[in-house]
């Protein structure tokens, strides 16, 4: 019951305050520029990094990015920017 009430409260706050869902629900925000750059906000940490694969921890699950010639351009506690050829972005639900 409490979980349902919290969700209803979040939805009401998002509607009334016009806040984006990713802020209120603690979801990652992913911005891609073609196949060359990907910027991920609101992740929980870097799990794996190679030149062909990046795996990030999310609040719920993981994000797997596959491609070629990956280079980390920016890394902050909850943000990361990758450069390289991006072939796929997969959400892994735990």
For domain 26-92, the question of CATH label 2.60.40.2000 is answered with yes
pLDDT of residue 18: 64
How many whole angstroms separate alpha carbon 73 and alpha carbon 47? Answer: 17
Query: What pLDDT, in 10s, does the model give residues 14-44?
Result: 666 665 555 556 789 999 999 999 999 999 9
How many whole angstroms separate alpha carbon 58 and alpha carbon 11? Answer: 21
More confident residue, 27 or 91: 91
pLDDT of residue 2: 74
- 61 with 54: CB under 8 angstroms? no
Q: What are phi and psi of 58, to 5 degrees?
A: -115, 170
């Amino acid at each position: 019951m409490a979980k349902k009430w919290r969700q209803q409260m979040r939805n009401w706050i998002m509607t009334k305050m016009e806040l984006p869902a990713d802020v209120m629900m603690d979801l990652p925000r992913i911005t891609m520029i073609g196949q060359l750059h990907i910027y991920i906000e609101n992740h929980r940490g870097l799990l794996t990094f190679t030149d062909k694969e990046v795996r990030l921890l999310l609040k719920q699950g993981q994000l797997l990015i596959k491609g070629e010639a990956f280079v980390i351009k920016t890394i902050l506690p909850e943000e990361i920017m990758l450069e390289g050829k991006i072939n796929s972005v997969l959400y892994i639900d735990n």
